Amino acid sequence: MNLEELKAVAEIISKLVTALSVLVGGGWAIWKFGIHREAHAKIEFDLELNILGRQADSLLIEVIAKVTNKGLVRHWLRDFRFDLLYLPKDTPVELGDQRINQQVLFRTVFKKRYWIPPDWMSTFIDSGVSQRYTYVASAPADTRFLLVFAQFKYPDAESEFHTAQKVWAVD
């Protein structure tokens, strides 16, 4: 094999390596950002409740949203709200309609209350961080069960919103 033939073979090998590198890099990017969604937050959302005590005709409670970002990017919480509902003692259990999937029908204490009011600074959770948001509220003194339904919206239209719901027995 002469020098010209070696140069031609080396050029072909170089072009093949370049093409293979582009394919591998593109496949990695599709895997990482398209399929595995590395550019999006991975949120774990849970609710907690502390019964603080009774005061006059009210039950004082602390509602807690625990938001953990298990992803690799910062997540901004938008339209971060919750509903507080209750079921009084000695009240017959009624089932709701299709709007709530025939679940037990609770009475409303309040709806769409912000964890962080819109005119305050917004909040975010960095990657690997767990943040707790608390709200002190009251429910009627005859409360037997409390239900909290919470949600926030994602900034991208693809993900829409995230919800959490939990019920507690009050003794």
pLDDT in tens, 57-90: 999 999 999 999 988 888 888 889 999 999 999 9
Query: 27 and 105, same structural domain?
Result: no
Task: List, for residues 90-140, the tens digit of each pLDDT value.
Answer: 999 999 999 989 999 999 999 999 998 888 877 888 889 999 999 999 999
Q: Considering its fold, how many domains does the chain have in total?
A: 2
- Beta-sheet strands, E only, within the chain: 43-55, 58-69, 75-88, 107-114, 123-125, 130-140, 143-153, 161-169
pTM: 0.76
Q: Are residues 61 and 30 in the same domain?
A: no
Whether 8 and 57 map to the same domain: the answer is no
* Domain limits for position 58: 43-169
Rounded distance between C-alpha atoms, residue 134 and residue 114, angstroms = 11
